[in-house]
Chain A
């Protein structure tokens, strides 16, 4: 019996580059060469793969076509992937504990600070570099985390109509907020209030969707076991969000134009606000800090903070 309908079948594919057909390259290194996909892998390869997938997911969320609305389905699926990885890490106990063992010497602590790598600072790096140490002045303080993307966007977020770049910046800002939120349980409501303000200023669905990333990015330091993910953020536990974000930032040093694009003025803003942040932080940590120096914490200070947290 012949099939009555003669079908002309097509493949439904979306091209990545204009005008070229996408081919699955046999020589593509990918990740399969290094790890297997979940069928009895060793713990390390599983962890490496998970980290790689995490990095890829972060990259995907940031690689959005400038003028086109991103696919909501794709965004949701990537976010779910990130969330799942985060939950897995949480279950494995790899998230940073707030307390540190008092027997740790300050040298060891400093080493740990150097090892800590906020995930989204390194989302562009290949998986193999996950465990490498980075220059100390790159990954030390929450301010250095905040300064890169967040505070340059802090002011652009509040201004004018939301442009596609703002979504990217809003996201990192809210992820930075989330990191701080984690340290300050009392300020949770403030954080969500701020993010609601952001989304209402954005005035459309997109920032809300992009802000879903928040939980995932900031919670990952080094996933390998045996690494203390004690970060310098622990010293911020007695701070509230308001203290950090809105305390005495000198805005007179730069002017911000609502219609300016993100490149020129904001890069200037970045440099300025980072300094400001660190200066505002200094009263709380009772140390004078400059952006270039590694953050050193007195052991006594840490003990004090521990006591505050433990409530003893």
Chain B
């Protein structure tokens, strides 16, 4: 199905592909829970509630149709997480994939991190299109040869074969989170990454699985005083010591890891002052930030809450520089949305490659056209 719409003078949007099913009845396990492009845009990974990851690859642009954007085809599918049972608490641990993050590519293989509520896994995605043939001791099926038939020594040669995509688990980072992991973010140093749950953020080394460092902890001594949780976190794209995390109260905290081992004290606090005349029952719930992303330049941050997208300048903590209302018409329906839990839905946002467009996910329409140019 193709549909063209225009927004702005130089951007045209086309609805190119639909993956999956458009039936009304889908099995719960097939519901996509997270989506992530890799850095070049060649690969698209999706995670679903059944713990599977499906990777799509963009087909190469052909000489015949250079303007046509490549279509995405299934590249690989694998089971990332399985449902588990916490015997201590008598609770199930969902296999739903909460987040996928690609590592910057350093060789022919691709690496990605996928996480459910409790465990993060590092996967290696590699291609195999050749295989060795002509072993001396084994035949083509791998069975041992009868040595009496071997008369000549040969050197095995690599012969082309059908492309095979292998996905192997390389590391499993487990048992570091008491609460549900909501975010992972790879550092610009390409050696460390962080994982954030509702109350804590841990720093890992990509090569070390048996320990992590806690860098943020907002758990109060008395849990009854808990009024705020961490909702999203991300590393700065260039400064490996800076990270930002958002809260359910709509605040953003920029932390500098050079200041202290435990970054409980923020370096900057970004909070829009509440307008008392505009306060309503669901002010706090709708202000809870569901996603935060740095721009590629590193100068700006974008946050998504239930009704708005806000763009912040790192140099100004007092208020955002842009606010976009997403579905303001829902303001009068918040009671029902609270009743059926829709108000707790999480939406994501993203910058395009040149930081000129903001994109966000929504539930009413397939996608929302980009906002006015932003640079």
* Given the contacts A13-B363, A32-B333, A6 and B281 also touching, CB distance less than 8 Å: no
Minimal beta-carbon separation of B343 from chain A (angstroms): 9
Q: How far is the CA of A35 from the CA of B367 in the complex (A)?
A: 32
Distance, CA A83 to CA B225, complexed state (A): 11
B16 at the interface (CB under 8 A from A): yes
Q: Does A268 interact with chain B (Cβ within 8 Å)? A: no
The one of A22, A32, A37, A214 that contacts B340, using a Cβ cutoff of 8 Å: A22
Instruction: Assess whether A129 is interfacial by the CB under 8 Å rule.
Output: no
Interface residues of B in 1-41 (CB under 8 A from A): 10-14, 16-19, 24-28, 31-35, 37, 41
C-alpha gap A164/B91 in the complex (Å)? 8
Least distance between A194 CB and chain B CB atoms (Å): 13
Per-residue interface assignment for chain B, residues 262 to 277, with 1 indicating a CB less than 8 Å from any chain A CB and 0 otherwise: 0000000000000000
Question: Which interface class (under 10, 10 to 19, 20 to 34, 35 or more) fits B?
Answer: 35 or more
Contacts of B310 in A (CB 8 A): none
A31 touches B335 (CB 8 A): yes
Q: Let me know if B24 and A73 touch, CB within 8 A.
A: no
Q: Which residues of B contact A39 (CB under 8 A)?
A: 280
A21 to B370, CA, bound (A): 26
Task: Decide: B227 and A76 in contact? CB cutoff 8 A.
Answer: yes
User: A204–B361 contact, CB under 8 A?
Assistant: no
Against B, the Cβ 8 Å flags (1 = close, 0 = not) of A42-62 are 000000011011001000100
In Å, the complex CA distance between A69 and B86 comes to 10
Complex CA gap A50/B35 in Å reads 38
Judge whether A50 and B281 touch: CB under 8 Å: yes
Instruction: Determine the chain A residues whose CB is within 8 A of the CB of B88 once the complex forms.
Output: 204
Known contacts A6-B72, A19-B28; A76 and B11 CB within 8 A of each other:
no
The prevalent SS among residues of B at the interface is loop
Contact of A275 with B by CB under 8 A: no
B37 adjacent to A5 (CB under 8 Å):
yes
Q: Report the Cα distance A52→B17, complex, angstroms.
A: 44
Given the complex of chains A and B, what is the CA–CA distance between A245 and B67 in angstroms?
78
Q: Is the interface of A mostly helix, strand, loop or mixed?
A: loop
Contacting residue for A11 out of B13, B28, B89, B362, CB 8 A: B362
Contact at B229–A10, with CB atoms within 8 Å? no
Q: Does chain B have a CB within 8 A of A16?
A: yes
Distance of B284 from chain A, by nearest CB (Å): 6
Which of the 9-residue segments A93-101, A205-213, A226-234 touches chain B? A205-213
Residues of A within 8 A of B26 (CB): 19, 21
**A73 and B28 within 8 A (CB):** no
- Evaluate contact between B339 and A56: CB separation under 8 angstroms: yes
Residues of B within 8 Å of A31, CB to CB, are 335-336, 339
In whole angstroms, how far apart are the Cα atoms of A69 and B89 in the complex?
Answer: 9
**CA–CA, A28 and B336, complex, Å:** 8
> Is the CB of B345 closer than 8 A to any CB of chain A?
yes
CA distance A37 to B345 in the complex (A): 20
Q: In the bound complex, do residue B344 and residue A74 qualify as a contact, i.e. CB atoms below 8 Å apart?
A: yes
**Binary interface profile of A, 275-293, with partner B (CB < 8 Å = 1, else 0)?**
0000000000000000000
With both chains docked as a complex, state the minimum distance between the C-beta of A128 and any C-beta of chain B, in angstroms: 15
Q: Is A3 an interface residue (CB 8 A)?
A: yes
**B251 → chain A, closest Cβ, in Å?**
14
Task: Tell me if B363 and A53 are in contact (CB < 8 A).
Answer: no
List B residues at the A interface (Cβ < 8 Å). 10-14, 16-19, 24-28, 31-35, 37, 41, 44, 46, 56, 58, 67, 69-70, 72, 88-94, 117, 178-180, 198-199, 222-224, 226-229, 231, 248, 279-282, 284-285, 288, 331-342, 344-348, 352-353, 357, 359, 361-363, 366-367, 370
22 A-B contact pairs sorted by A residue (CB < 8 Å): A3-B370, A6-B16, A6-B17, A6-B58, A9-B359, A18-B28, A21-B25, A22-B342, A30-B336, A35-B335, A37-B281, A37-B335, A39-B280, A53-B338, A68-B92, A72-B179, A80-B227, A164-B90, A204-B88, A204-B89, A205-B178, A208-B222
The 5 closest A-B pairs by CB, nearest first: A208-B223, A30-B336, A38-B280, A9-B367, A31-B335
